[in-house]
């Protein structure tokens, strides 16, 4: 599917309408930005009446390819994401902007970048985060998932912002959970960080991680107390006063 200025769930609903199935029966691996031209796969159960999928073309979306498959596409089944970002400049600024971007990209390649959750995680005007203070029991499973995700992401961002302010976001600290680059394997930093581990971190072979509150391995040591204090500071925004 190729969609323009349309969110993934809305497109899934349109496909359900065309196929004559329930929206929850439509599968997709992840949510793509609304304000973009985005291409992604969807899965739809076999319709009772034949559908000419290759002819499906509407103002906000169109089918590019359609193939039979035996399984529903599950969330998270992503091989990766690719992005093309187009930048516009005013006349005469192109060379200066290009030089500035080259310098910034070189810095990112050398140091990495603080990987904040972006505003799309929090909904329009931060509505998902605001709803966390309204109580979760009144929400359906899908809405509850969005609200909890927004609250967890806000806590992560708060901890990351504090470490950026301290100048420690690109360094490992005792109590961190470190992740191996490109592998997704974690290990605890349970003692003072030696030069060997620091050097691996500088070479971007391992990275510090931040907290995503819920099930999983908890932080320890000084990181645990720092996480807890920053979570308490954010509590009025997420959970009311």
Q: Model confidence at 240, in pLDDT bands (50, 70, 90)?
A: very low
Q: How far apart are CA 160 and CA 223, in angstroms?
A: 12
Across the chain, what does the average pLDDT equal? 84
Is 194 one of the annotated active-site residues of the chain?
no
Residue 190 has pLDDT above 60, yes or no: yes
**Domain shared by 170 and 99, yes or no:** no
Run of H or E including 225: helix 221-239
Judgement on whether residues 122 and 233 belong to the same structural domain of the protein: yes
Identify whether residues 125 and 54 lie together within a single domain: no
Residue 145's domain spans which residues?
A: 117-239
Handedness of CA 92, 97, 100, 105 (dihedral sign): negative
pLDDT recorded at residue 122: 83
Instruction: Please indicate, yes or no, whether residues 143 and 220 belong to a single structural domain of this protein.
Output: yes
What pLDDT, on the 0 to 100 scale, is given for residue 133? Answer: 67
pLDDT tens for 151-189 read 889 888 988 998 899 898 999 988 888 899 988 788 888
Domain membership of residue 150 (yes or no) is: yes
Residue 69 in any domain: the answer is no
Other C-beta atoms closer than 10 Å to the C-beta of 164 total 13
Q: How many domains, in total, are found in the chain?
A: 3
pLDDT recorded at residue 217: 60
220 and 131 in one domain? yes
What CATH number is associated with residue 207?
A: 3.30.2340.10
Q: Is the pLDDT of residue 241 over 50?
A: no
Assess whether 151 and 235 both reside in one domain: yes
Q: Are residues 134 and 108 in the same domain?
A: no
Q: Which of 33, 176, 181, 194 is catalytic?
A: 33
Q: Tell me, yes or no, whether 132 and 173 share the same domain.
A: yes
Smallest Cα–Cα separation from 171: which of 155, 192, 185?
192
pLDDT at 142 over 50: yes
Give the pLDDT of residue 34.
Answer: 86
pLDDT tens digits, one per residue of 87-122: 777 777 778 888 888 999 999 989 899 999 988 788
Q: For residue 54, tell me if it sits in a domain.
A: yes
Concatenating the DSSP letter of every residue in 85-153 gives ------TT-HHHHHHHHHHHHHHHHHH----PPPGGGG-GGGHHHHHGGG-STTS-HHHHHHHHHHHHH
Same domain, 136 and 56: no
* Alpha carbons 49 and 52: distance in angstroms, whole number: 10
- Evaluate if residue 220 carries a pLDDT over 50: yes
Contacts of 3 (CB under 8 A, 6+ apart): 11, 32, 37, 38, 39, 40, 60, 61
Locate 112 and state its tokens.
């990495």
Residue 75: inside a domain: no
The whole-number pLDDT of residue 1 equals 95
**pLDDT at residue number 232:** 64
């Amino acid at each position: 599917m190729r969609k323009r200025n349309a969110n993934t769930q809305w497109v899934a609903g349109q496909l359900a309408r065309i196929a004559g199935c329930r929206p929850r029966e439509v599968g997709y691996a992840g949510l793509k930005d609304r304000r973009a031209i985005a291409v992604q796969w969807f899965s739809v159960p076999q319709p009772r009446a034949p559908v000419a999928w290759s002819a499906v073309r509407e103002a906000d979306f169109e089918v590019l390819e359609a193939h039979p498959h035996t399984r529903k596409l599950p969330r998270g089944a992503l091989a990766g994401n690719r992005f093309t970002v187009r930048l516009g400049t005013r006349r005469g600024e192109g060379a200066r902007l290009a030089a500035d971007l080259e310098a910034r990209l070189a810095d990112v390649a050398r140091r990495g970048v603080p990987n904040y959750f972006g505003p799309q995680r929090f909904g329009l005007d931060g509505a998902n985060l605001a709803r966390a203070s309204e109580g979760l029991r009144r929400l359906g499973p899908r809405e509850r998932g969005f609200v909890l995700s927004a609250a967890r992401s806000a806590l992560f961002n708060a901890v990351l912002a504090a470490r950026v302010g301290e100048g420690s976001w690109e360094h490992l600290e005792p109590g961190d959970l470190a992740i191996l680059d490109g592998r997704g394997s974690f290990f605890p930093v349970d003692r003072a960080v030696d030069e060997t581990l620091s050097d691996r971190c500088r070479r971007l072979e391992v990275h510090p991680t931040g907290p995503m509150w819920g099930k999983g391995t908890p932080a320890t040591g000084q990181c645990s107390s720092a996480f807890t204090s920053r979570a308490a500071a954010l509590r009025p925004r997420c959970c009311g006063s």
